[in-house]
Amino acid sequence: MTKQALLIIDLQNDYFPSGLYPLWNTEQTLSNIKSAIALAQQNDVPVIHIQHISDPALGLAPFFNEGTEGAAIHPEILNAAPDAEVVIKRFADSFEQTRLEAVLSELQVEELLVCGMMTQNCVTHTAISKAAEKYQVSILADCCTTVDEMLHNIALNAVSTRVTLQPHAVALT
């Protein structure tokens, strides 16, 4: 059986209603990801949190500034997977200048189950990263969101020729 890992990208407070850049459908996405985490844990699939922190050398960013409450991973996600590895990134591609590849190699992962925020940016850039080509990659379509439903659907359609799209309940069984 293929060794999977669940990558949860940018489930950070700034994307929720009280944050600096709230997205569409965050509560349903949060609920679906918590369900995906539970299924991953039942099936011994490692969970990896990926957290975007804006580069302080570039000055103050619109959101995800280091040390702010908005940059913190959503508490419900941390509570669901408190022992999961956290990989910090500064680019849309979660592999770019991070230790993600080393973490996946150590875990002997062959298949990536990608979810998170924002669909058209960090989720798709990670899924189609040059570094991701050696993995079987699926995006958990019901565990992603972005600014609005149309952009979410456009992004999923655009990436559908390169990766598998599936609901979390199918991918984690």
Distance CA 83, CA 124 (A): 25
pLDDT band at residue 2 under the 50/70/90 scheme: confident
Q: Which two tokens stand for residue 34?
A: 């918590």
Q: Is residue 41 scored above 90 in pLDDT?
A: yes
Q: Is residue 90 scored above 80 in pLDDT?
A: yes
Q: Does pTM top 0.85 for this prediction?
A: yes
Least confident of 54-58, 149-153, 159-163: 54-58
For domain 4-171, the question of CATH label 3.40.50.620 is answered with: no
Q: Is residue 29 scored above 80 in pLDDT?
A: yes
pLDDT at residue number 120: 98
Q: Is residue 7 scored above 80 in pLDDT?
A: yes
**In the chain, where are the structural domains located?**
4-171
